[in-house]
Amino acid sequence: MTHLLGIVDRFSRAMVGLAFFCMIVAVVIQLLGRNALFDAPVWTEELTRFGLLYLAAFGLGPSLRTGDLVNVDLFCESLSGRKPWLLRLLSSVLSAAMCIILIKPAWQFTSIGAMQSSPALGWRMDLIHVTMLIALISLLVYSLARIAGMLTGTTDGLPENPFGEEK
């Protein structure tokens, strides 16, 4: 499972990097257009928004793993005994359950986008709406991995350090 999660992690990080690169290019074109060389194309605003959606969708799962999402550690970790562990497990179970509940509506939302197109770029909106589905699946995978790790004793459910950082 660790090997598979590592592959998903590397893919997610690569997609976050690609989305961020697209956002950087679009913003640079906007800045040059507004301040120096030419009129800023309308599509740069739209591409920036779409890039941000993809960045969030692919970054959500790895952020859960590394602890970069908002946590309530101060409260949970101040409790005594096994309570912090139980709260981490409960939060992972609730996160996974919410993802499972929301996958069908996210699929429906994505499929509606096939009948729409973005105004500036003309892209089919299902290619954009799919970010909600990606976010839910990513969060589900990482929540289930945390639950499995906690129940098997391979992890205590605390966030892991990102690649390259030491404890």
pLDDT in tens, the chain (167 residues): 788 888 999 999 999 999 999 999 999 998 888 777 778 888 999 999 999 999 999 999 999 888 777 766 777 778 888 898 998 899 999 999 999 999 999 999 999 999 999 999 999 999 999 999 999 999 999 999 999 999 998 888 888 765 555 54
Residue 47 has a pLDDT of 94
Q: How far apart are CA 155 and CA 157, in angstroms?
A: 5
Mapped onto helix, strand or coil, the DSSP state of residue 122 is coil
Whole-angstrom distance, CA of residue 95 vs CA of residue 146: 11
Report pLDDT for 48.
Answer: 95
CA 26 to CA 20: how far, in whole Å? 10
- 163 within a domain of the structure (yes/no): no
Which one, of 96, 102, 73, lies nearest residue 149 by Cα? 96
> Has residue 121 been placed in a domain?
yes
Rounded distance between C-alpha atoms, residue 34 and residue 136, angstroms? 36
- Domain of residue 98 covers 2-152
19 contacts 11 by C-beta, under 8 angstroms: no
DSSP secondary-structure letter at 37? S
In the prediction, which pLDDT does 163 show?
54
The amino acid at residue 21 is: F
Helices (H), the chain: 2-35, 43-66, 73-76, 83-112, 126-152
Q: What is the pTM of this model?
A: 0.86
Structural domain total, the chain: 1
How many CA atoms lie within 13 Å of 51's alpha carbon, on the beta-carbon side? 17
Q: Is residue 30 part of a domain?
A: yes
